[in-house]
Amino acid sequence: MLRYLTAGESHGKALVAILEGMPAGLRVDIKKIDQELARRQSGFGRGLRMQIEKDKAEILAGLKKDVTLGSPIALLIENKDFSIERLPKVTCPRPGHADLAGLLKYGFGDIRNVLERASARETASRVGIGAICKLFLTEFKIRISSRVLSVGGESSAVGMKKKILQAKIKKDTVGGIFEVIVKGAPAGLGSYVQPDERLDGRLAQAIMSIPGIKAMEIGLGFDYAYRFGSLVHDAIYYSKAKGYFRRTNNAGGIEGGISNGQDIIIRACMKPISTLLKPLDSVNIVTKRAKKAAIERSDICVVESAGVIAESASAFVLTDALLEKFGSDSLKDIKENYQNYLKRMR
């Protein structure tokens, strides 16, 4: 079983992650991890924190001469801004953030105790983990990419940029929709035999747990609701050269909770960031009087970054599902099993 844990506050000393279950024998190029971390930090509409941080990963355990040992991998990303002990108390919860619900849940008297961990800065750890999973998937020629489809309802590059600039001028924020595409995944990952083995359910958990994601769909997604069955299911064909094949991919590469060999296509909606420079109505948690929500340094639009994080989340799920199917100790053994499987499929 592949699993991971992350720890770290947004303005604490560092973000850390432990990944357990990665097989022995995988070469880990740290530059590739840093490239993914840099991708997460970029995109039009990011805030000032991204000018302070230059996220770099350090691997503390689990590798020898850059190759995995099969033991847990420990990853560290230092924060340049680690001012947590000096930062002021926050007393007016931001609508849309974890602030109020977290405060009530844990019984704190300072919202900072919530927001430091609820911050999307945590996703740097997930991207670090995802980058290692991407290196593993590359060994099987599985590639994951993402693209922004729309921002604030605009889908042209110019329109999206304009929307972000508009939000900036209005001291507002804006969300959007991104798409993740997985190419090269074989048929047979995930299973219908138990609910928690279904690949679509696993991807949904991984992606919906990214801060700010409010909806996701696979393939045709919500559009399935508007069409007849005869028009949406991907008819099956066979040829000697191609084997089984389809002319459409409305299922988004997953049928019955199992990958079917087509591209896996996921779309998700990232809500507008909930820290507003022109804040909404809120309540002071000490006086219980009406007060505008707190203003924290933040971003205007993070849809592009959310796509990169979702790539990582998908990479983790697919690595887990691949290890489940083909074995999990040694990369060499797994590759052999995989080749035998592909031979049978042909």
Binding part of the chain for ligand EPS, among 57-65, 113-121, 125-133, 327-335 by CB under 6 A, reads 113-121
311 binds ligand EPS (CB under 6 A): no
Binding part of the chain for ligand EPS, among 17-25, 282-290, 291-299, 311-319 by CB under 6 A, reads 291-299
Binding part of the chain for ligand EPS, among 114-122, 140-148, 195-203, 216-224 by CB under 6 A, reads 114-122
10 binds ligand EPS (CB under 6 A): yes
Binding part of the chain for ligand EPS, among 142-150, 214-222, 226-234, 293-301 by CB under 6 A, reads 293-301
CB nearer ligand EPS, residue 227 or residue 297: 297
Q: What is the CB-side half-sphere exposure of residue 292 using CA atoms within 13 A?
A: 8
Binding part of the chain for ligand EPS, among 67-75, 99-107, 119-127, 287-295 by CB under 6 A, reads 119-127
Subset of 247-276 contacting ligand EPS (CB under 6 A): 273
**Conformational region of residue 28, where left means phi above 0, alpha means psi within -120 to 50, and beta covers everything else:** beta
Q: Residue 35 Cβ, how far from ligand EPS at the closest point, in Å? A: 16
H or E element, residue 224: none
Binding residue for ligand EPS (CB under 6 A) from 121, 126, 198, 325? 121
The residue with tokens 């489940």 is 324
Binding residue for ligand EPS (CB under 6 A) from 36, 217, 234, 296? 296
Binding part of the chain for ligand EPS, among 22-30, 115-123, 153-161, 179-187 by CB under 6 A, reads 115-123
Number of residues that bind ligand EPS (CB under 6 A): 12
Amino acid at 134: K
47 binds ligand EPS (CB under 6 A): yes
Strand 236-239 and strand 281-283: the pairing is unpaired
Binding residue for ligand EPS (CB under 6 A) from 298, 314, 319, 328? 298
CB nearer ligand EPS, residue 26 or residue 127: 127
Binding residue for ligand EPS (CB under 6 A) from 120, 144, 181, 318? 120
299 binds ligand EPS (CB under 6 A): yes
CA distance 128 to 163: 30
CA distance 186 to 172: 43
Burial of 239 (0-12, 13-18, 19+ CB in 10 A): exposed
36 binds ligand EPS (CB under 6 A): no
83 neighbors 11 (Cβ within 8 angstroms): yes
How many angstroms separate the first and last alpha carbons of the chain? 28
* DSSP line for 154-213: B-SHHHHHHHHHHHHHTT----EEEEEEEESPPBT-S-SSSGGG-HHHHHHHHHHTSTTE
Q: What residues have CB less than 8 Å from 93, skipping those under 6 apart?
A: 99, 100, 103, 111, 282, 283, 285, 293, 294
282 binds ligand EPS (CB under 6 A): no
Binding site for ligand EPS (CB under 6 A): 10, 47, 49, 119-121, 124, 273, 296-299
